[in-house]
Structure 1
Amino acid sequence: MDTQRWAAVDDYFTEQLVPQDEPLLAALEANKAAGLPPIDVAPNLGKLLYLLAKITGARRILEIGTLGGYSTIWLARALPEDGKVITLEYQPRHAEIASHNIRRAGLETKVTILVGAALDTLPTLAGSAPFDMIFIDADKQNNPAYLEWALTYSRSGTLIIGDNVVRSGKITDAGDTDPNLRGLREFLTRVGNDDRLEATAIQTVGAKGWDGLAIARVK
């Protein structure tokens, strides 16, 4: 099996189960045209985030890491009319592109983008908590700190999702001192050792290669 076959299966699933409408396709095209890193979630993962938000009945979602807003659109679409996504983005240019994509999707009233380092903006969100779902998909070296803020802003039943936890299998290589891998390993260790959480992680293969996500529920 190879990445070409994985990508073909992702394309098949997307064609069968995850129809891409104009705002979603336009967001991906806009991100590509602007030269953003090609690290948007795959369509089937976007739909998974949407379904998880629906299943949990989420009304308030926190997203750490906006990029061009593709995942933000999926999350915002899952919310009721009075729902809200607060999404945090470090790069002003990324946030500007995301804002255009979100407006094109007609979701600007449901989304607030906060620009700046997440560890600077997170302390300002106490008045918006608790969140029903929190999606962590930013710089991985700070995942342990993001987890602590996620727990601070959670309630019983909050779903916390951490993306990109496999990194082509490198997560198991204790000798690799890459800061992002070290952050992910500490993040997973903290999740597994925290009595407030019940959690698992799954590996995925597809258009984005070999990766995975961690899913935790606050007891």
Structure 2
Amino acid sequence: MKDSQAVLYPNEEVAKKVTEYSENHTLGLPKAITDYHAWIVETQEMSNYTISTFQAKSHVWLARLIGAKRILEIGSYLGFSAAIWSHAVGPSGTVTGLEFNPEYAAVAKSKLSGLGINNVNFILGPAADSLTTLTPEVPYDLVFIDADKANYPTYLSLLLSHSQPGSSNRLLRPGALIVADNVLRRGIVADPSDANPHVKADRERTAQGKNGEFRSNRDLEMLNLFNKDMSESERIETWLVPLWDGVMVGRLID
């Protein structure tokens, strides 16, 4: 196909069916983990903080593609994505989750323990502080960024500065993947005009005194800056995937 623009989805009904078909023809996940996802969606007010099962499958595929055994996660929420990374790396691998909210971390620890997952370690506190003090004996193979959007550029800067070629205790190995979620925000980052219906819907929520789904203009500005920093870095080969809420994938090169 010579055109880059997707023409598969003429309406929401077709888009839903295509998505379901695609997910059904993608690798499977353990039932216990998908049940945990269902529990989050059904019971948690902020369930939109967690990734979808379809996106989770893509994460497993990416991690196994590069043979990842050590994964760093910035923003863990209730631990579903950490459980996914644990499944991807297997019992011999490890997952380190950085989580600011102690209540989220407590739920994550309890739920993952109940799932028999024991290769995930959560570090509490601001992720920027944790990234500054982390000194892994072996660098991480993959980092997943899914935390406060306004700090995405900061996280990237810290990851790069602490992964210098030839340095000891670097955070990311050469060839490591940097995977960041929510980089398009329903397309608003790419198209903030009224032609995007999500812009109007978010503006109406804010006018009603509710938190806009996409938070502040600063979040959107910082996401745009993050995408720019990723794509313009001489040390990163990027692929921005216009699926779900937008996923930026970068490969670190030395």
State the shift of 1:2 in Å.
4.0
Q: Percent of aligned positions with the same letter in both sequences? A: 29
8 Å CA contact 1:64–1:135 kept in 2: the answer is yes
State the shift of 1:128 in Å.
4.7
Q: For residues 63-111 of structure 1, what are the alpha-carbon distances to aligned partners after superposition, in whole Å with 9 as ceiling and x for unaligned?
A: 1111111111111111143311001111112112211231232212x10
State the shift of 1:135 in Å.
0.6
Structure 1 residues 35 and 96: CA distance shift in structure 2, 3 A? farther
8 Å CA contact 1:159–1:216 kept in 2: the answer is yes
Q: Matches of 2:190 and 2:240 in 1, distance apart?
A: 13
Structure 1 residue 171 corresponds to structure 2 residue 189: yes
Structure 1 residue 69 corresponds to structure 2 residue 79: yes
Structural mapping, 1:16-31, within 5 Å: 16-31=25-40
Q: Matches of 1:37 and 1:138 in 2, distance apart?
A: 14
The code of the aligned residue for 2:226 comes to: F
Equivalent residue, structure 1, for 2:94: 84
TM-score by length of 1: 0.87
Q: Any idea what SS the aligned residue of 1:157 has?
A: strand
Structure 1 residue 212 corresponds to structure 2 residue 251: no
TM-score by length of 2: 0.76
8 Å CA contact 1:160–1:215 kept in 2: the answer is yes
- Mean Cα displacement is larger for which, 117-126 or 62-71? 117-126
State the shift of 1:25 in Å.
2.8
Structure 1 residues 8 and 99: CA distance shift in structure 2, 3 A? farther
Structure 1 residues 68 and 4: CA distance shift in structure 2, 3 A? farther
Structure 1 residues 2 and 155: CA distance shift in structure 2, 3 A? same
Q: Matches of 2:15 and 2:192 in 1, distance apart?
A: 27
Q: Any idea what SS the aligned residue of 1:165 has?
A: coil
Task: Indicate the RMSD between aligned Cα atoms, in angstroms.
Answer: 2.2
Equivalent residue, structure 1, for 2:232: 193
Q: For residues 162-192 of structure 1, what are the alpha-carbon distances to aligned partners after superposition, in whole Å with 9 as ceiling and x for unaligned?
A: 1111112211357997111111111111112
Structural mapping, 1:90-109, within 5 Å: 90-108=100-118
Structural mapping, 1:115-130, within 5 Å: 115-130=124-139
| Unpaired stretches in structure 2, ≥5 consecutive residues | 1-9, 163-170, 194-198, 200-215
State the shift of 1:119 in Å.
1.4
Q: Any idea what SS the aligned residue of 2:116 has?
A: coil
Q: Matches of 2:21 and 2:56 in 1, distance apart?
A: 15
Q: Matches of 1:7 and 1:86 in 2, distance apart?
A: 34
Q: How many residues align?
A: 213
State the shift of 1:18 in Å.
4.6
Q: Matches of 1:3 and 1:39 in 2, distance apart?
A: 22
- Return the structure number with greater relative CO, CA threshold 8 A, min gap 6: 1
